[in-house]
Structure 1
Amino acid sequence: MKNVVIEETDTTPRVEFDFAKGLFEFKGLSIPEDTQGFYNPIAQTLEQYGQNPTAKKHHLTFTFLYINTSTSAMVSRILKIFESIQAKGHQVNVVWSFESDDEDMKDLGTYFSSFTNLPFKFIPHEEIV
């Protein structure tokens, strides 16, 4: 599959997928006006990849400054896709990165980790740029 790079905007995160290396990253603010319009093509690409994953190890990184409720639903969908990849015998690791003083984003990551079988690693940072 062709790698994906979507540049960050004022309301959407940077999205970068390197399928051969198994690297999948979301970084920035996610408050799109049309959450479905932004995330559906991303989720569909991941679903297509998930049918026949090529990497043995997958690293899914979320470094959000803030996300709205509708983005949370899409993150759940993305995590389910990676659970199906893991169920096929592929290794999946999730990194939830957040600003060290942002308890809400830390708690949100904990919430996501509570309903998935994917291993989560929580990484606080002084500032996300």
Structure 2
Amino acid sequence: MDNLKIAATERSPAVDFDFAAGRLSLKGESYPEDASAVFGPIFAALEAFLGAARGREVTFDFDLTYFNSSSAKALMNMFQMLDQSADAGCRLTVNWFYAADDDTMKEFGEDFCEDLSHVTFNLVSVE
């Protein structure tokens, strides 16, 4: 499967999915005008990858400094996909990065974590 790399824009995060290494990353800000246009290709690639990832170790790094409500919904859908894959045997670790002084992003990470049953979720404070 080909890796997925999408450069960050002013309104959308950088995407770096190295499928062979099992290392996935979203980094930056996410407040696109059309969330489905931004997240559609991400979901398609992620779904194809996770369908064949049973038994693999996969790490997903979320390093977002800001996201809007439509991006939050997309992230929740993404976390549900990850949790279902982990339930099916994929060993998934999520690293949620947040600035040490950003209580809002930390709380978002805590909220997302509460909805996951099968994923190892790490809150990672960054100075």
Is the structural similarity TM-score above 0.5?
yes
Q: TM-score, structure 2 length as denominator?
A: 0.94
Counterpart of 1:77 in structure 2 is: 77
- Unmatched segments (≥5 aa) in structure 2: none
Q: TM-score, structure 1 length as denominator?
A: 0.92
CA shift, 1:55, in A, is: 6.9
Counterpart of 1:58 in structure 2 is: 58
Identity %: 29
AA matched with 2:125: P
CA shift, 1:54, in A, is: 6.7
Q: Contact conserved, 1:19 with 1:55, CA < 8 A, in 2?
A: no
CA shift, 1:60, in A, is: 0.7
Counterpart of 1:92 in structure 2 is: 92
Aligned equivalents of 2:28, 2:55: Cα separation in 1: 25
CA shift, 1:44, in A, is: 1.4
Counterpart of 2:114 in structure 1 is: 114
SS at match of 1:21: coil
- Unmatched segments (≥5 aa) in structure 1: none
SS at match of 1:2: coil
Aligned equivalents of 2:124, 2:84: Cα separation in 1: 24
Give the count of matched residue pairs: 126
Q: CA RMSD in A?
A: 1.2
AA matched with 1:96: W
